[in-house]
A and B are shown apart, each in its own frame.
Chain A
């Protein structure tokens, strides 16, 4: 899912309803419920205090706003508080026992990306520096988008973002750091994206074990296998379901 990733934060900002994200609502509701249950079970002054403390959380969980008496204390505007949290964010890193130049050159040839990013079908770079990406998402749903590299420093960093009109709004960067006196390279990936089916799509993906962080981790593991060992480890033929 590294593939249909990469979004710019401000692109989604105006689509979001109310002041809070649904996750936060659920967190607030969940915490409130726990505190209320705890209070009810304790039948003690401490329990009662817990239950009272739960009230604002409950209010926020249901209405999406902090009650008036807390307005000055709690951050009302999550655009400010959570602007970096919109969409899905993924941060992963891996170390390879290769000089930084080898790893950078492999990654910069973005046609190579589908060789280790499992859900990516193809990437084609045009002479003008723009590229066309095709990914296969949940339920074999094909997703396509155009992207551009907007920042690159040789052997250090590559940053890209999707172009207007894409199926997925995304942005990402990968950093290459020479470590262990240059013997090894640490690759760090940062991604933000709006999944095609919004947060629900991400939730479904998580339910099926396709949490984006895990997918990026597996992609990076394959990168490491490919570059270090020269091949990606397989225990069985692809047509053997076990």
Chain B
């Protein structure tokens, strides 16, 4: 089959590889009908994610048709149309039972790698480095899905692939980011980053009852899309973010701040340049400019919610400010399985049509070019979907 492979930083190729096979009883094989490039795939593309290996198949947002099921999988059958959550979870360990699906104990065969860095390992992920299990991803014609009796969600034929594909990651991720803000009526939520996750965070914040959402970015097309989702917008290249947020909230600050940017933040302030220089010299792992700003902007006693990915040891992290203001910090990979049924229901009810975020539709062969386009944000690119 054809698959999108990582061959080094900045080097993505489409190559022929062996078809996946059933390895475990609870597995299924899915013929991929739609997949997407995630903003977090760009962290891999740019070489920020350790333990990637040449030849790894990328992609953790995918859906398709079940073509084979393992002997221990009685829930799925051949022909089912499913969306696959990007976190792999067994459903039976302590963490799965607690609803902390992305922290599953039993799905990462390389848990020891993550343990070296974090003490304990999270769940395995599709196509996201060997530290997270080394599972081949879904930017391919076929994909093997472990624990397929618990993860994939069947979707009705009345909904198109484009409407349901983003249940695989970015819709639940934006939703959990908003849910982590413990929104109450009247709340104002500030969202840094109007990429796909930011867009879903904006809309989810309103779904959860926020009164105002203020969206921060610098790309006009992304700010425009945020505005279509009823967000007030703020271009950080034009105004001072902290001053502007203070002004717009009567000197109080937003009730919660969402960092939907993560470790490759851009900025115009001194600390952003400092991060840029340090990471370029391999003296720092992450560029946490947005996180610093979110902590600085948040009102006293508020929440900073972090769906953006961080990878290492952060430099100049203002924990003192977080402490002084009694902030709550919430973060982590999305507990996907927790959200799939309710968010599918929201799509069915017409509360939201996730396809609004798509700007580019391509085939597998175009994937390497699209990584470049998406990374450079050329051609007003916000979200790329691939139909193999």
Whether A224 lies near B106 (C-beta < 8 A) is yes
Contact A231/B112 with A224-B106, A236-B136 known, Cβ cut-off 8 Å: no
**Contact segment of A69-77, A141-149, A214-222:** A214-222
Whether B55 lies near A242 (C-beta < 8 A) is yes
| Neighbouring A residues of B146 by C-beta, 8 Å | 233-234
Question: Is B368 engaged at the interface, CB distance under 8 Å to the other chain?
Answer: no
Using a Cβ–Cβ cut-off of 8 Å, how many residues does chain A contribute to the interface with B?
A: 20
Question: Is B229 engaged at the interface, CB distance under 8 Å to the other chain?
Answer: no
CA distance A184 to B25 in the complex (A): 25
Whether B23 lies near A234 (C-beta < 8 A) is yes
| Neighbouring B residues of A225 by C-beta, 8 Å | 90, 106
**What is the distance, in angstroms, from B296's C-beta to the closest C-beta of chain A?**
40
Question: Is B109 engaged at the interface, CB distance under 8 Å to the other chain?
Answer: yes
Could you say which of B25, B72, B112, B124 contacts A233, with CB atoms under 8 Å apart? Answer: B124
Question: Is A230 engaged at the interface, CB distance under 8 Å to the other chain?
Answer: yes
**Contact segment of B7-15, B92-100, B336-344:** B92-100
| Neighbouring A residues of B163 by C-beta, 8 Å | none
| Neighbouring A residues of B107 by C-beta, 8 Å | 229, 233
Over the window 79-95 of chain B, the binary record of Cβ atoms lying under 8 Å from chain A Cβ atoms (1 yes, 0 no) is 00000000000111110
Interface positions, chain B 13-59, Cβ under 8 Å from A, are: 21, 23-26, 53, 55-56
| Neighbouring A residues of B91 by C-beta, 8 Å | 229
Whether B109 lies near A233 (C-beta < 8 A) is yes
| Neighbouring B residues of A235 by C-beta, 8 Å | 109-110, 124, 133-136
Could you say which of A184, A230, A242 contacts B26, with CB atoms under 8 Å apart? Answer: A230
Contact A242/B53 with A97-B97, A236-B136 known, Cβ cut-off 8 Å: yes
Question: Is A139 engaged at the interface, CB distance under 8 Å to the other chain?
Answer: no
| Neighbouring B residues of A218 by C-beta, 8 Å | 112
Question: Is B171 engaged at the interface, CB distance under 8 Å to the other chain?
Answer: no
CA distance A233 to B377 in the complex (A): 37
CA distance A229 to B109 in the complex (A): 13
Whether B26 lies near A231 (C-beta < 8 A) is yes
- In the complex, the chain A residue whose C-beta lies closest to that of B126 is A235
Interface positions, chain B 122-158, Cβ under 8 Å from A, are: 124, 133-136, 146-147
Whether B111 lies near A221 (C-beta < 8 A) is yes
Whether B92 lies near A228 (C-beta < 8 A) is yes
Whether A242 lies near B94 (C-beta < 8 A) is no
Interface positions, chain A 183-242, Cβ under 8 Å from B, are: 184, 214, 217-218, 221, 224-225, 228-237, 242
CA distance A237 to B147 in the complex (A): 16
Whether B105 lies near A237 (C-beta < 8 A) is no
CA distance A225 to B107 in the complex (A): 8
| Neighbouring A residues of B134 by C-beta, 8 Å | 235-236, 242
CA distance A234 to B124 in the complex (A): 10
| Neighbouring A residues of B55 by C-beta, 8 Å | 242
CA distance A231 to B26 in the complex (A): 8
Please tell me the size bucket of the interface on B. Answer: 20 to 34
Which of A230, A231, A233 gathers most chain B CB within 10 Å?
A233
**What is the distance, in angstroms, from B217's C-beta to the closest C-beta of chain A?**
36
Over the window 45-70 of chain A, the binary record of Cβ atoms lying under 8 Å from chain B Cβ atoms (1 yes, 0 no) is 00000000000000000000000000
**What is the distance, in angstroms, from B256's C-beta to the closest C-beta of chain A?**
33
Contact A224/B105 with A229-B93, A231-B72, A235-B136 known, Cβ cut-off 8 Å: yes
CA distance A235 to B131 in the complex (A): 11
| Neighbouring B residues of A231 by C-beta, 8 Å | 24-26, 72
Whether A228 lies near B93 (C-beta < 8 A) is yes
CA distance A91 to B100 in the complex (A): 29
Whether B94 lies near A97 (C-beta < 8 A) is yes
**What is the distance, in angstroms, from A136's C-beta to the closest C-beta of chain B?**
20
Which of B72, B107, B109, B124 gathers most chain A CB within 10 Å?
B109
| Neighbouring B residues of A95 by C-beta, 8 Å | 94
Question: Is B108 engaged at the interface, CB distance under 8 Å to the other chain?
Answer: yes
Contact A242/B56 with A224-B106, A231-B72, A236-B136 known, Cβ cut-off 8 Å: yes
Contact A229/B90 with A217-B112, A242-B56 known, Cβ cut-off 8 Å: yes
CA distance A95 to B105 in the complex (A): 10
Whether A229 lies near B147 (C-beta < 8 A) is yes
Whether A214 lies near B93 (C-beta < 8 A) is no
Which of A95, A228, A232 gathers most chain B CB within 10 Å?
A228
Which of B91, B110, B146 gathers most chain A CB within 10 Å?
B146
**What is the distance, in angstroms, from A152's C-beta to the closest C-beta of chain B?**
28
Contact A233/B108 with A242-B53, A242-B55, A242-B134 known, Cβ cut-off 8 Å: yes
14 A-B Cβ contacts within 8 A?
Answer: A97-B94, A97-B97, A218-B112, A221-B111, A229-B90, A229-B91, A229-B107, A230-B92, A233-B106, A233-B108, A234-B24, A235-B110, A235-B124, A242-B53
Given contacts A229-B106, A235-B124, A242-B53, 10 further A-B contacts (CB under 8 A): A97-B93, A228-B106, A230-B72, A231-B24, A231-B26, A233-B146, A234-B146, A235-B110, A235-B134, A242-B56
Residues on A lying within 8 angstroms of B by beta carbon are 95, 97, 184, 214, 217-218, 221, 224-225, 228-237, 242
Give the 10 A-B residue pairs with the shortest CB-CB distance, closest first.
A229-B90, A229-B106, A235-B134, A231-B24, A233-B109, A225-B106, A235-B135, A234-B23, A228-B92, A235-B133
